[in-house]
């Protein structure tokens, strides 16, 4: 199983990075911008062959790939010595923007494709907005939130728990839970059967008065199940799902950046290669469709992460395109090189720190 997880990690990360770089490559070629090298994997180089003006290389580290666009400031801050017609910096602002954003767009589209595949196979999902032609199985009720200090929380009910029975009566919908609680008065003791991972937990808890006057346990539930859709509906549902998650992740990234600016510890909210490998292992243990779902989430995270205005990310380069559009003159190359050099060093330190945190967490 460890080998399967390792292979899954390499394949997932490889595909996500390769698709991202393919976006830059295809857009550069479309605008007749020179591409010096398109690499599969990362150096050292094992094999390379030149077709036209582009070197296609196979490299030793089999994770993702890279594209070296002619005349662009590289990730180590190196700048072109002179400008030629097929150089990146010789292109219009719109073309440069399109080339830089293409990798992000490709990851976004890949997310939709992966979710669509998941829905066609049958993917665990929340049942809030499911098409009428969906085939739903393994329906259950999951605790999405719970009010602090209510008896159920004190009894041990947790977010993520699946409610399988109330007073020994099986429940699979929110309506069935409400039906079981309808005759119960506030303060009465009820029995809950809860599935937590692979463990069944039985507990008793007193009910509490809700805002509508009914008795409840102070928890917010969502219905989940395995949703299977035909091709057309799967694509539509995957697009909706991707957009909903995009909104959620943008808010999350914004909160993360805000907390970091305020000097708060955000290390627990980020994961490096080791953390991603651990999550891949967990997804692999659950099954193939969970790996597809995880890869889709990772692809979307990669897309949004690359939008951050920080070198050497695509967003860092897009900032200079935006500034040039505002001031209507090229940003001095010397300043761009300085910013990219400093940004690249900070980025490496950040990745190292996150990796060390992940390793320590894994050991402990």
What are 270-293's pLDDT values in tens digits?
776 777 778 887 888 888 999 999
Residue 15's region, left for phi above 0, alpha for psi from -120 to 50, else beta, is alpha
pLDDT at residue 258 tops 90:
no
pTM of this prediction?
0.85
Q: What is the pLDDT of residues 113-158, one digit of tens each?
A: 999 999 999 999 988 888 989 999 999 999 999 888 888 888 888 9
What pLDDT does residue 19 have? 95
Residue 111 sits in the same domain as residue 254: yes
Residue 8 sits in the same domain as residue 85: yes
pLDDT at residue 82 tops 70:
no
Tally of domains within the chain: 2
Residue 156 sits in the same domain as residue 99: no
Taking alpha carbons only, the member of 63, 59, 45, 66 closest to residue 7 is 63
Q: Which pLDDT band holds residue 31 (cuts at 50, 70, 90)?
A: very high
Three-state DSSP state, 238: helix
What pLDDT does residue 81 have? 58
Q: Strand locations in the chain, DSSP E?
A: 35-51, 54-69, 123-126, 135-146, 162-166, 169-170, 189-196, 199-206, 208-209, 215-216, 219-228
What pLDDT does residue 102 have? 98
d(CA 34, CA 69): 6
CA triplet 324, 328, 332: central angle to 5 degrees?
A: 50
Characterize 79-105 residue by residue with b for buried, 16 or more Cβ atoms within 10 angstroms of its Cβ, and e for exposed: ebeeeeebbbbbbeeebbbbbbbbbbe
What crossing angle do the helices spanning 93-121 and 2-30 adopt, rounded to 10°?
A: 140
CA triplet 69, 33, 66: central angle to 5 degrees?
A: 25
| Of residues 152 and 80, more confidently modeled | 152
Residue 232 counted as domain residue: no
Structural domain including 321 reads 2-124+247-363
Taking alpha carbons only, the member of 311, 337, 330 closest to residue 89 is 330
Residue 74 sits in the same domain as residue 174: no
Residue 159 counted as domain residue: yes
pLDDT at residue 80 tops 60:
no
Residue 170 sits in the same domain as residue 261: no
What pLDDT does residue 253 have? 80
What pLDDT does residue 304 have? 94
pLDDT at residue 79 tops 60:
no
State phi, psi for 31 to the nearest 5 degrees. -95, 10
């Amino acid at each position: 199983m460890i080998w399967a997880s390792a292979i899954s990690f390499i394949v997932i990360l490889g595909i996500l990075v390769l698709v991202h770089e393919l976006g830059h490559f295809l857009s550069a070629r479309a605008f007749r911008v020179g591409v010096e090298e398109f690499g599969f994997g990362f150096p050292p180089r094992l094999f390379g062959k030149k077709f036209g003006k582009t070197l296609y290389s196979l490299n030793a580290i089999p994770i993702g790939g890279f594209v070296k666009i002619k005349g662009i400031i590289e990730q180590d801050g190196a700048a072109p010595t002179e400008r030629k017609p097929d150089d990146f910096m010789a292109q219009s602002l719109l073309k440069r923007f399109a080339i830089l954003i293409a990798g992000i767009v490709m990851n976004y589209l890949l997310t939709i494709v992966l979710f669509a595949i998941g829905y066609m196979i049958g993917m665990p999902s929340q049942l809030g907005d499911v098409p009428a032609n969906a085939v739903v199985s393994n329906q259950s009720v999951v605790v999405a939130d719970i009010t602090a200090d209510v008896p159920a929380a004190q009894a041990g009910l947790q977010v993520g728990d699946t409610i399988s029975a109330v007073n020994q009566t099986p429940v699979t919908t929110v309506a069935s839970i409400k039906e079981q609680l309808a005759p119960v008065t506030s303060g009465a003791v009820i029995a809950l059967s809860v599935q937590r991972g692979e463990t069944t937990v039985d507990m008793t808890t007193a009910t509490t008065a809700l805002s509508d006057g009914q008795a409840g346990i102070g928890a917010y539930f969502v219905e989940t199940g395995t949703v299977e859709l035909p091709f057309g509906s799967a694509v539509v549902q995957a697009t909706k799902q991707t957009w909903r998650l995009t909104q959620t992740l943008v808010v999350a990234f914004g909160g993360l950046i805000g907390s970091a600016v305020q000097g708060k510890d955000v290390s627990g909210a980020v994961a490096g290669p080791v953390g991603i490998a651990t999550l891949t292992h967990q997804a692999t243990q659950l099954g193939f469709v969970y790996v597809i779902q995880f890869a889709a989430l990772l692809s979307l995270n990669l897309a949004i992460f690359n939008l951050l205005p920080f070198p050497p990310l695509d967003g860092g380069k897009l900032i200079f395109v935006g500034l040039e559009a505002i001031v209507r003159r090229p940003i001095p190359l010397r300043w761009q090189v300085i910013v990219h050099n400093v940004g690249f060093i900070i980025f490496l330190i950040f990745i190292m720190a996150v990796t060390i945190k992940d390793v320590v967490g894994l050991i402990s």
